[in-house]
Amino acid sequence: MTGAATLKAWAGAALAAPVVWLASIVNVPLKSWQRATGTGGMAAFFLAPNMAIFGIFVLVPLVINFFYSATSGTAYFLQDRTYVGLEQYQRLLDCGSYLDTATCREDLFWKAVHNTGLFVVAQVALMTVVSMATALILNREIVGRSFWRAVFFFPVLLSPVVTGLIWRWILQRQGLLNLIVHNRGGEPHNWLTDRFWAFTAAVSVSVWAHMGFYTLILLAGLQAIPRDLYEAAEMDGTKPARVFWRITLPLLMPNLLVVIVLTLIRAVQIFDEAYVLTGGGPGTSTLYITQYIYEIGFASLLRNPGLASAASILMGLVLVVLTLLQLKVGRRGERKGARE
Amino acid sequence: MSGVMTFLTRRRGGRGWHWTDIVSWLWLLGGLVIMFGPAVWLVGSSFKTPAQLAEFPPTILPYVSQQAKVEGYDKPLTLYRVKLPDGSTKVLAEVRRVGIVAQMVDPQAPNDIVKVNIADREPMREIGFATENYAEPFVHFDFLRYLRNSVFVTVMATLITLLTNSMAAFALSKYKFRGRDLTMLLIVGTLMVPLSVILVPLYSVVGAVGLLDSLWGVILPTVATPTGVFLLRQYMLTIPDELLDAARMDNASEWQIYWRIVLPLAAPALAVLAIFSVVWRWNDFLWPLVVLSRKELYTLQVGLNTYAGQLNVQWHYILAMTVVTMIPVILVFVFLQRYITSGIAGTGLK
């Protein structure tokens, strides 16, 4: 063993020693617990910490959310709040016409709903096209495929705050985009204070940040398609277009559907990148539902946690529907896989 | 149309260059620029001085103005290349500036003051890095504290996640008990409950257990990850039960079986979960934003957003701190990226 390796082994042992020691100490009471309760009791012991945390911080909030949405006031603790029944929901859903936010009592909520709807449509479409094209290209006989895969995956790991700031910096008045525009003889522009461009930026940045993830799923699907199918098609002299429509697309469909539904589910909850990038502006043109919940629940001076809770339940219902859709799509994919 | 389709289908190997190859390579190279370009631009900008950041059009590389020590002046003076009335150019140092007229001296002859119209001069610049952008936020702002908070949250949350998730996964994969499938269903079912749906009640629950405005209030709600339990359970199912039975024959306790046999064997899955957890917790934004209101408890993400949201954004610091915030994730990307990609391709989780 070389000197460095010995040192490394010693350092590792020294770091692990207290943990190993702790584990052997724990073993003593656990042995008597095991003797007293049998292996069934041990199952309970192993489950307990996770389920306790899970229960307190996921299940309890999930259940009390329904009670919460039936109360009003600005206090956060349930016992300090007054019961108002379905009033919060009535307030949210009170609209002259759902297509015109100005006729709604909670016009901000409906503005957020409309914006989110538009965002979801644009983002899902762009995401699907871009990640599909990238996956198809990465599936060709490309030199250095894992390098290129990593290139497109890189932004997935960045934090939304970092992503938002990077792009705010590029899109600002003295930014890189304006440099490019300027060099091509164009007029510099305040991209993020323009309704259309702010929306376009929010959509594009979120595609930039997450496309690597979906490309990966699609690429895995493409690589699972048996090669002999293509070889057979080639021997029959099938046209490439036909190969795509008759082999690639049908066999990729399960993955493609999963990608579309996953994108949908995540797009409905869009918050961080868009929030850091535009802050919901200009005006309310990039205000999305999660930001509405956050602002009405916590940040706004006129905060109303009950209303935020009711809005979050409405969003949750949409997500449940989408998730059931995903499960159905996923199961169909599985069955299809099993048949082959 | 069929041309587009050729492009969409795979290339049949070794037939020379087709136009679809060119389009593919253009796409890849364009992707390289679009994916890495913004981050590179960020890093380059983070080394620019405030004056340079305000310039338009911006320069690609960071420059600093050259300065020189001139006899008779305490501070170093900034050097300019000045076009003199006789048509020659000379390097002069600026003493002070009044409106559009600058009073300048020749560093070689520091006694004669020359008045120069600022239109007739250009700053002397060289490529240089404004490293003070990195040093100062740690002194003037609380960035060191934010960094500590972020590291604490990430490390603690990841350790607890690994321990509790692996214990739960062990119970769910290696024991038969009543309600096991129901427990599993419950855990997997909550995969579809995102934070934004339970934001308000979670806040009141965390308040009720007294963890508001504490780093533990950030850590605990995130650690019981359903994805982690699911990933580890799927992996532990592949560990043969005979191994556990053999250990029981040798009088090993259940805890020893978990600790000595199952955990080491599940190391690959634990590694994947650890990497995911580090990235998740480091990047968390909405929950810390809601639960932390005392400034000294902010994590990097919340601190960055706060400073970037101020009326007078000090971009030179923000950019440098954004780079610092990116570093751990870049390290993960460079060294551990293949674990993540294989994890995603295998399970479809993120």
Q: Average pLDDT over chain B, rounded to whole?
A: 83
Restricting to B residues 15-74, those with a Cβ less than 8 Å away from any Cβ of A are 21, 24, 27-28, 31-32, 34-36, 38-39, 41-42, 45, 53-58
Q: Are residues B294 and B236 in the same domain?
A: yes
Decide if B333 is inside a domain.
yes
Decide if B56 is inside a domain.
no
Q: Are residues B98 and B238 in the same domain?
A: no
Residue B120 DSSP class: G
**d(C-alpha B69, C-alpha B76), whole Å:** 4
Q: Are residues B36 and B99 in the same domain?
A: no
pLDDT at A183 over 60: yes
How close, in Å, is residue B252 to chain A by CA atoms? 9
- According to DSSP, the β-strands at B109-117 and B121-123 are unpaired
Cβ atoms within 10 Å, residue A247: 18
Single out the residue of A307, A334, A302, A338 nearest to residue A86, CA to CA: A307
Task: List phi, psi (to 5°) of A11.
Answer: -60, -45
Tokens of B327: 């570093």
| Tokens 């993020």, located at residue | A192
DSSP A95-142: BS-TT-GGGBTTHHHHHHHHHHHHHHHHHHHHHHHHHHHHHHHHTSS-
Decide if B298 is inside a domain.
yes
Three-class DSSP category at B85: coil
- Tell me the per-residue pLDDT of A187-199, one tens digit each, with 9 for 90 and over: 888 888 889 999 9
Return the CATH number at B168: 1.10.3720.10
For B42, the closest of A159, A169, A216 (CB atoms) is: A169
pLDDT at B156 over 90: yes
Q: Are residues B15 and B150 in the same domain?
A: no
Tokens of A169: 């910096």
Residue A340 pLDDT: 34
Residue A190 pLDDT: 86
**d(C-alpha A313, C-alpha B207), whole Å:** 21
Q: Are residues B233 and B162 in the same domain?
A: yes
Tokens of A37: 């309760």
Question: Higher confidence at residue B336 or residue B166?
Answer: B166
- β-bridge mates for residue B122, sequence order: B81
Q: Where are the domains of chain A?
A: 3-66, 87-339
**d(C-alpha A131, C-alpha B203), whole Å:** 36
Residue B9 pLDDT: 52
**d(C-alpha B56, C-alpha B37), whole Å:** 19
Decide if B270 is inside a domain.
yes
Instruction: State whether residue A319 sits within 8 Å of chain B by CB.
Output: yes
Q: Are residues B93 and B70 in the same domain?
A: yes
* H or E segment and range at residue A27: helix A3-54
Chain B partners within 8 Å of A80 (Cβ): none
For B344, the closest of A50, A216, A305 (CB atoms) is: A216
DSSP A41-64: HHHHHHHHHHHHHHIIIIIHHHHH
Q: Are residues B74 and B150 in the same domain?
A: no
Instruction: State whether residue A301 sits within 8 Å of chain B by CB.
Output: no
**d(C-alpha B190, C-alpha B222), whole Å:** 13
* Mean pLDDT for the stretch of residues B237-265: 90
How close, in Å, is residue B130 to chain A by CA atoms? 18
- β-bridge mates for residue B126, sequence order: B64
CB B306 within 8 A of CB B319: no
Tokens of A182: 């300027």
Name every residue whose Cβ is closer than 8 Å to that of residue B193 and which is 6 or more positions away in sequence. A58, A62, A316
Decide if B196 is inside a domain.
yes
For A230, the closest of B10, B177, B221 (CB atoms) is: B10
pLDDT at A111 over 80: yes
**d(C-alpha A149, C-alpha B190), whole Å:** 31
Three-class DSSP category at B58: coil
Single out the residue of A6, A301, A334, A277 nearest to residue B305, CA to CA: A277
**d(C-alpha B236, C-alpha B243), whole Å:** 12
Question: What range does the domain containing B169 cover?
Answer: 134-347
Reported as a pLDDT band with limits 50, 70 and 90, residue A24 is confident
Q: Are residues B324 and B206 in the same domain?
A: yes
**d(C-alpha B345, C-alpha B340), whole Å:** 9
Reported as a pLDDT band with limits 50, 70 and 90, residue A332 is low
Which ipTM value was assigned to this complex?
Answer: 0.85
Decide if B326 is inside a domain.
yes
For B202, the closest of A61, A174, A182 (CB atoms) is: A61
pLDDT at A260 over 60: yes
* H or E segment and range at residue A224: none
Question: Higher confidence at residue A8 or residue A249?
Answer: A249
**d(C-alpha B188, C-alpha A92), whole Å:** 31
Residue B189 pLDDT: 78
Question: Higher confidence at residue B98 or residue B186?
Answer: B186
Decide if B248 is inside a domain.
yes
Decide if B50 is inside a domain.
no
The total of structural domains in chain B comes to 3
pLDDT at A338 over 50: no
- Domain A87-339, architecture per CATH: Orthogonal Bundle (1.10)
* Mean pLDDT for the stretch of residues B67-87: 77
Q: Are residues B294 and B149 in the same domain?
A: yes
Chain B partners within 8 Å of A156 (Cβ): 350
Cβ atoms within 10 Å, residue A90: 12
Instruction: State whether residue B224 sits within 8 Å of chain A by CB.
Output: yes
**d(C-alpha B55, C-alpha B64), whole Å:** 13
Torsion angle defined by CA atoms of residues B75, B77, B78 and B81, in that order, rounded to the nearest 10 degrees: -170
CB B203 within 8 A of CB A76: yes
* In chain B, % of residues over pLDDT 70: 93
Please report the sign of the dihedral spanned by the C-alpha atoms of residue A176, residue A180, residue A183, residue A186. Answer: negative
Q: Are residues B93 and B111 in the same domain?
A: yes
The answer to whether the Cβ–Cβ distance between B183 and A161 falls below 8 Å is: no
Cα-based distances in Å from B183 to A64, B164, B186, B212, B216? 20, 15, 5, 29, 26
pLDDT at B339 over 50: yes
**d(C-alpha A126, C-alpha A218), whole Å:** 15
Which residue on chain A is closest to B278 by alpha carbon? A157
Instruction: State whether residue A78 sits within 8 Å of chain B by CB.
Output: yes
Q: Are residues B75 and B185 in the same domain?
A: no
Instruction: State whether residue B311 sits within 8 Å of chain A by CB.
Output: no
Residue A139 CA, distance from chain mean position: 25
Highest mean pLDDT among A32-46, A91-105, B30-44, B69-83: B30-44
* Mean pLDDT for the stretch of residues A28-38: 84
pLDDT at B301 over 90: yes
* Probe site for chain A from B197, B258, B324 (most A CB atoms < 10 A): B197
* Mean pLDDT for the stretch of residues B59-80: 77
